[in-house]
Amino acid sequence: MYQFSYADIQTDAVADAKDREKQILSRSIEMLLKAREKGTDSLDAVNALHFLSRVWTIFVEDLGSADNALPQELRANLISIGLWLLREAEEIRQGRSNNFEGLIEVSQIIHDGIR
């Protein structure tokens, strides 16, 4: 019979969560790349911006939770980044910007920073 320590299970759960976060960010980046190629008025842009907004709304809510184990300063920085991403996505959606490049670059930096 297998016995696992709580620490082993918790470590696996954190690793799984980080892997899911990276996968979600990878999907968002792929969608943003396609949207950049197709243009701000495309269905690809609508889908990419909607996906990014859903993802970062969830991330910001989680980062703001007292249960989040990340250091407070990192959480605050990530919340600020998330709010910028949400604002920039709305600017694109409203036709006041076409800054897919900024969304892609920042998303890639966050993706690459997950360890």
pLDDT tens readout for residues 9-59: 445 577 888 999 999 999 999 999 999 999 999 999 999 999 999 999 999
Contacts of 79 (CB under 8 A, 6+ apart): 60, 63, 64
Q: 51 near 30, Cβ under 8 Å?
A: no
Residue range 67-95: mean pLDDT, rounded: 97
Report the distance separating Cα 84 and Cα 71, nearest Å.
20
Domain boundaries, position 95: 23-113
8 within domain boundaries = no
The first and second tokens of residue 67, run together, are 């249960």
- Establish if 73 belongs to a structural domain: yes
Is residue 59 a part of any domain in this protein? yes
CB neighbours of 86 closer than 8 A, spacing ≥ 6?
52, 53, 56, 57, 60
Please tell me the predicted confidence (pLDDT) of residue 80.
Answer: 98
d(CA 31, CA 42): 12
Place of tokens 């990419």: 48
Number of compact structural domains in the chain: 1
Q: Could you tell me if 76 and 64 are in contact, meaning their C-beta atoms sit under 8 angstroms apart?
A: no
